[in-house]
Amino acid sequence: MNSARRGRAGRAAVLTLSALLLACGPREPAPPAPPPKIEPPPPQAPKLITPPPPAASRADLLAAAAAAASAYAAGTAPQGSDPLAGRTFTIRSAFGCLGPAREGRPAAGLAGWAPRAKDAAVELSLTPADWSASPLFAQAIEARLWDGAEGYWIDRPWLAAETCPAGPAEPSETPSPQTVGLAAVFEPQGSRFGRRKGRAYGFTLRGTGEAPPALPAKGFRLVLEGRFATFPDGRTIQCRADGPDQRPLCVAAATLDRVAFEDGDTGGQISEWRKD
C-alpha cells in the first residue's frame, strides 16, 4: 500500500517536473511592437509677404511737404514713423509750359529750355543748385552724415498734376518763390558718381535742315527717381521760415538714381541720366 502510493507520488513528481521543464523551455520570440504612429504636423497658413508701397509720386511728396510745413508753422513735432523714409519715388514736373526760360537759361534747381542763337536748335537744361551751405543741412553735414547736397525745385507746388497748368500763355512778371525742393544728399564715404558739381543736365533738340524743332504743345517734363533718405532726426523733410507770416520752405532728402526729360505731349523719353 505504501509502496503503491510512493510509486504514484513518484510518477506525479516526474510529470510535474516535465511540465515545468516544458514551460521553462525556449519560446518563440514575441513579435516586435508596431512603430509609434507619427501624426503629420498640422498645416500652417502661408506667410503673407507685404509688398512694398508703390513709388511715391509728385502728389505724395507735395502732400507730405504740406503736412511738414503745417507742423513746422504750428511748432509741433511730427509723431510716429515717417511714411516717406526709405520709400522709392518717381516725381514728374512739367517745365517749359510758358515758353523759354527767363534770361536765356533756367535758374539753378529748375529745368527749362532756351533757343540756341547759333543754330535752329533748342537746348533743354537743368543745373542742380548747391544747397550744402543751407541751414537745413548744417546739422547733418556737421555730424558727417552727409558732405554735400544738390537741390532740385518742385516747381508750382500748389499743382499736384504732372502736366502743364491751364491758363494764360504768358508768364507772370512776379512768379512765386520756390517753397518745395528735393535734395540729392551724399555720404562722406559714398560714391561720388552722380554728383554734378555745377554741371548741367543738357540735351539739344534739332529740327530738320534749317528748320527749328517742333516743340510739344504741353511742354516738357522733368523726371526724378530715387529713394528718400532721412535727416538726423529720422524725418525725410525739413522746413524753415524767417517768420510766422511766411510760408515755410520744405526740402526732402533723397538719393537720386535717375534724371530724365520727357515729351509733355506723348510722355516719351527724350534723354536720361542714370546713377549706375
Work out whether the CA dihedral 229, 230, 231, 236 comes out positive or negative. positive
Are 88 and 253 in contact by the 8 Å Cβ rule? The answer is no
For the chain, percent helix, then strand, then coil, each to nearest 5? 20, 30, 55
Domain presence at residue 234 = yes
Domain presence at residue 72 = yes
Assign 22 a pLDDT band (cuts: 50, 70, 90). very low
Q: Give the lowest-confidence range in 152-161, 190-199, 230-239, 260-269.
A: 190-199
Domain presence at residue 109 = no
Tens of pLDDT along 55-88?
999 999 999 999 999 999 999 988 889 999 999 9
With 90 as the cut, is the pLDDT of residue 276 above it?
no
Domain count, the chain: 1
Q: Which residues, 6 or more positions from 160, have their beta carbon under 8 angstroms from its beta carbon? A: 58, 59, 62, 63
Tens of pLDDT along 164-173?
988 766 777 7
The amino acid at residue 182 is L
The pLDDT value recorded for residue 1 is 47
- Cα separation, 6 vs 170, whole angstroms: 145
Range of the domain at 146: 58-97+127-165+176-199+217-274
Domain presence at residue 188 = yes
Domain presence at residue 7 = no
The pLDDT value recorded for residue 166 is 84
pTM metric for this prediction: 0.80
With 80 as the cut, is the pLDDT of residue 26 above it?
no
Strand partners, 195: none
Which cell is 59 given?
A: 502728389
Assign 194 a pLDDT band (cuts: 50, 70, 90). confident
Query: Mean pLDDT over residues 112-119, rounded?
Result: 87
Nearest to 270 by CA among 212, 207, 204, 214: 204
Domain presence at residue 80 = yes
The pLDDT value recorded for residue 224 is 98
Domain presence at residue 11 = no
The pLDDT value recorded for residue 95 is 96
Domain presence at residue 21 = no
Tens of pLDDT along 233-254?
999 999 999 998 999 999 999 9
**Vertex 85 angle, CA 68 and 247, to 5°:** 15
Which cell is 104 given?
A: 536765356
